[in-house]
Structures are given as structure tokens and as C-alpha cells.
Amino acid sequence: MNVLTLIISVFISLSSTQQSDDCKDNEVSILSKKRDIFYFKLCKYFLGARVEVYDPEGKIIATEEITANKALIDFYFEKPGKYAIKFKKGNEQKDFTYNKLTPPPLTVADVDYHVVISQQSDKYKRDDLIKEDN
């Protein structure tokens, strides 16, 4: 019985190490790039990374610390072009591009950039939701 317990413990240890190694190579997973949205997921250890969005000319237009494991960047009101997205945490950096193809539906003269970064968490606490309703 002790040998079986030892074998199971080693197997669990090896499989969890493999999962964290896979995550290490893929700190940021792209979930979708459809409909002017760049939707992504961060590995747990990469939470707290700063995302920076650059316009086609290389000017930074949005930045935010990502504290939720899933988030999106909305390019709906941006002009067409190739946007750079950089995730930075400590010495690590992951770079992506987003090609906005369609023109914005409206022209807003007062503001040049309208990028929105929205975050969501996979884990919601029912108690927190109940407290907000009261």
C-alpha cells in the first residue's frame, strides 16, 4: 500500500510540474481576435503583468495592469492599422500584433484613441455578488 501511495504521489508531482512548464512557455494565450476584439488569458503566475497597446505609428495609446486571468482589448472605434500589444512582467515580455481591418463606425473628433481594456475573472465569489446587490 505504501508503494502505491508513493507511485501516485510521484505521478501527481510530475504531472503538475509538466502543467506549470507548459504554462511557462505560454504566459499569454490568445482566445480570439474576431470582431475588433483581442481576447486573451494569462497564466496565474503572469497575473499583474502590464499590457501596453501601441498604435500603428508606435505611440502608446493604452496601458493597464492585468489582475484577472481573462481580459480583452477592444479596437472597435480605432482606425484600421497594425497595433502592437506588449505584456510585461519583471524581465519577461510577450509581444503580439492586432490587425484592425475595418473602419470605425463613427468619427469622434474630440478623442484620438478609444481602446478599452476590460478584465474578467474565472472565479466569482457569490458572497461578493450578494453584497453588491444590497
Q: What residue ranges do the domains of the chain occupy?
A: 25-133
pLDDT above 90 covers a percentage of the chain that reads 34
**Cβ neighbours around 68 below 10 Å, total:** 14
Per-residue pLDDT of 32-80, as tens digits, reads 999 899 999 988 888 899 999 999 999 999 999 988 888 999 998 899 9
- 73 neighbors 61 (Cβ within 8 angstroms): no
What is the four-CA torsion angle of 85, 83, 78, 119, rounded to 10 degrees? -10
84 pLDDT higher than 90: yes
pLDDT at 80: 92
φ, ψ (nearest 5 deg) of residue 44: -55, -45
pLDDT at 122: 52
89 vs 133: CA distance, rounded Å: 35
Mean pLDDT is lowest, of 60-64, 88-92, 126-130, for 126-130
Return the CATH number of 25-133, one of 2.40.10, 1.10.10, 2.60.40, 3.30.450: 2.60.40
Greater pLDDT, 132 or 112: 112
Please state the rounded mean pLDDT for residues 2-6. 51
Q: Which residue from 69, 64, 62 is spatially nearest to 28, judged by alpha carbons?
A: 69
The rounded mean pLDDT for the chain is: 76
Calculate Rg over the CA atoms of the chain: 20
